[in-house]
Amino acid sequence: MKFKQVIITVIYSVIIATVMTMSNNIINPFKKKTPPVSRHPYIKTINPYTDARMQKKKMPEQEKDVSQPQEDVFEKLLELHQPLSEPGPFDWLAQHHEPGQPYSQYIESDPAVPDKQKRVIYIALLGEFSPEQKEIIEKTARFIDLYYQMPVKFTSPISLEAVPSRARRVHPQTRDRQILSTYVIENLLQPVVPDDAFCLIAFTAADLWPGQGWNFVFGQASMEERVGVWSIYRNGDPAASRDEYKLCLLRTLKTGTHEIGHMFSLYHCIYFNCNMNGSNHRKESDRRPLWLCPVCLKKLHWALDFDLVQRYEDLRDFARDNGLSESAKFFQRSLSILEKLPD
Ligand SMILES: [Zn+2]
Ligand SMILES: [Zn+2]
């Protein structure tokens, strides 16, 4: 696989300045499909949902499709969602010129969707984990199952012992021991993708770096191959306290579901506070909610045709059981709206 096919999905602000040229030229997953836009594309770009946001969050007529009986469901859910605010100077949308992906554009783009052959989300455990980290990955697998209403399975664990010294380093300044993420994708994951895999994502407790010029990455994926690796190294120490555990869990849930969203050809969301917002740094990703906005939810519903009520019930129960009260409350409020709708 060529390096150009590999997409860095989450990067940290401290490295942005040194890698902007690289990220603009090589790594932006959306560049070839989207026209160049102005510095604040989410304001200047004309598209129905941006306009909807400006017009008190009303869905536009041209987005309605009578062939979809649940169409107004998404419109009803809008009242729970906050438009994305102006980015700070180091935030994703200040650094990456993304025009967004309206629903109509998504369904016309021939997005990747599961079929009879490729219908399972696979998760690989890569390297060693503490008991708490392992528990968090197992919970994340369960959550991904509920989020996408798709079967999730684990592959056999993959050892990092086979990683050669040329794909390892100790960071010259921070002294973090790191694994080369491109090596993991090409040499450890791609050869073991199961036949019925829609995608394969690996979680590792090792720190990752993607090559020369980078300090580290949270994760990296090949969208063409639908294979990725995500590190929980920088998600906090879940053994330190109950709060740290919850924080590590929430971060891992967000990363796992966000990155799998890209596997279904979802671009970053520029419309509302949404799990599919891009993040340039930890504070920004911590601000991002665990839920999807109605625009992204509608895309996913088109791709997967799940039962919206069942999904929200499942997500609410998971969030409640794991002390994620803000998310539990949000999922319950979404459910209350859906349950008021006529059949
Ligand atoms: Zn992303
Ligand atoms: Zn969204």
**What separation in Å is there between the alpha carbon of 277 and the centre of ligand 1?**
7
Q: Note the pLDDT tens digit of each residue in 291-313.
A: 999 999 999 999 999 999 999 99
Q: What is the pLDDT of residue 212?
A: 86
**What separation in Å is there between the alpha carbon of 190 and the centre of ligand 1?**
20
| Residue spans of the chain under pLDDT 50 | 1-6, 8-70
Give the predicted TM-score (pTM) of the model: 0.80
CA gap 3, 257 in Å, rounded: 24
**What separation in Å is there between the alpha carbon of 9 and the centre of ligand 1?**
5
**What separation in Å is there between the alpha carbon of 223 and the centre of ligand 1?**
11
Q: What is the pLDDT of residue 9?
A: 45
**What separation in Å is there between the alpha carbon of 28 and the centre of ligand 2?**
18
Q: What is the pLDDT of residue 343?
A: 64
**What separation in Å is there between the alpha carbon of 269 and the centre of ligand 2?**
4
**What separation in Å is there between the alpha carbon of 339 and the centre of ligand 1?**
31
Ligand nearest to the CA of 291: 2
Q: What is the pLDDT of residue 214?
A: 86
Ligand nearest to the CA of 82: 2
**What separation in Å is there between the alpha carbon of 212 and the centre of ligand 1?**
21
